[in-house]
Amino acid sequence: DDNSDNDFGKNSSLFAAKIPTAYGSNEGGGADSQTLFVRGKETVSLKYIDPYYSSTQQDQTVNTTVTTNTGSTGTIAITTKSGQPIEAFELGETLYIQVEDPDLLKAVADQGVNASKLPHTEITVRCIVPEMQEVEPVKLTYQPEQGRYVGSVVTGYNKAPASNNGRLEALGAQRVVAIYLDEIQLTGETDVPVSAQVGTAIGDTGRLELGQIDRLLLLDNQKFFKAGSTLSVLLQDIDLNRDEDQQETVHVLLNGDRLKDQYQLTLKEAHDVSGQFTGTFATQYATNANPSNDVLEVTGKEVVTVSYVDALAGSGNTKVTLIDTAQVSAGQDGILDILKANYVTNLENFNAGDRLYFRLHDTDITHEFVEITLVGETLKDRETVQLFQSMEEG
């Protein structure tokens, strides 16, 4: 207690005082500094001149000493599950944190079989993402067979991470720093933050395109094609070019939303463009899907989706599903009639030598004329007739 008013033993022979200490040197502090600066293993001497040392001795010097403690400098590492150090990782992976500090191990060893009950069998470090102000505490447990403390934290991609939720979240091209507070180091310095850091990986953002736009009908940003067409798929992802001397392949998935047909298409890398993959597939009109063939069977107005999972995007996000769609064109059913000369009354039968009149109603046709074919069932005679567009609707 530094308050002399609380000293009720003013006539006692016991005197006491205290002074704070700190690691380092008294740079610019001067002699009036109230802090004693020391380093590890430094001997601090205390000297007092006793004016009445004994009945025969006066002004006798009394000395005592104390030595500053030292410890071991702890280390921290960010590794794979097998303990291999890493420099970068993909968001979504699990990071493993290792701490080695003989000071903690000594406390464990001193207790023998009771080590599992000691506070030092479990320590806590902090993992932070400085750019996002994201902080996650991670508990490490002492592993006797390894002689170190080991723990893990799940990572993920998030543009707005929330701290202390058990998941370390970041964006691509950012830093993850693991920090361990070392209580005492070899130099004698105390409460020293020891850190290790790794980067979050980024890739090339893939681009997926179903069908060539110049061969498809594009209305309101929706692609359309006719059942029976052969469509192409283009995928651009430089991350897939793992070997410059080898032509890589990749699979994409094709799905229809009505008949539910599904087809896995293999794309091959272009010889002259690294990371560019192409392939084609056939479509066929059907009322039921046959999943065992190599044709994607579709019906009118069916939406066909091609999908590909981008393992690592340019944002750092992982397992990003890319899609593109095209819809099967469907029109109005055409109506063909055989009529009498007034083009109104249906003709049910006729005499050989009569003139026949035809009427076709189909709002999908935009040409000025169409051709129809007449075939006789008995004589098999075949004639082609051109029908010209009427000025009337349809």
DSSP 54-87: SSS--SEEEEEEEE-------EEEEE-TTS-B-S
Residue 168 has pLDDT above 70, yes or no: yes
Listed residues 308, 328, 348: the one ending a domain: 328
pLDDT tens-place string over residues 328-357: 998 777 889 999 988 889 998 999 999 999
What span, in angstroms and rounded, lies between the C-alpha atoms of 16 and 21? 16
pLDDT tens-place string over residues 357-386: 998 888 777 778 889 999 999 999 999 999
Looking at the fold, whether 170 and 102 belong to one and the same domain comes out as yes
- Output the pLDDT for position 118: 52
Residue 393 lies in a domain: no
CATH number at residue 259: 2.60.40
Listed residues 146, 168, 200: the one ending a domain: 200
Provide the token pair at 188: 């004698």
Residue 115 has pLDDT above 50, yes or no: no
Looking at the fold, whether 86 and 179 belong to one and the same domain comes out as yes
- Output the pLDDT for position 130: 97
Residue 9 has pLDDT above 70, yes or no: no
Q: Phi and psi of 107, rounded to 5°?
A: -65, -35
Across the chain, mean pLDDT equals: 89
Residue 146 lies in a domain: yes
Domain that holds residue 138: 75-200
Contact by Cβ (8 Å): 136, 167: yes
**pTM of full prediction above 0.75:** no
Looking at the fold, whether 301 and 342 belong to one and the same domain comes out as no
Average pLDDT over residues 227-234: 94
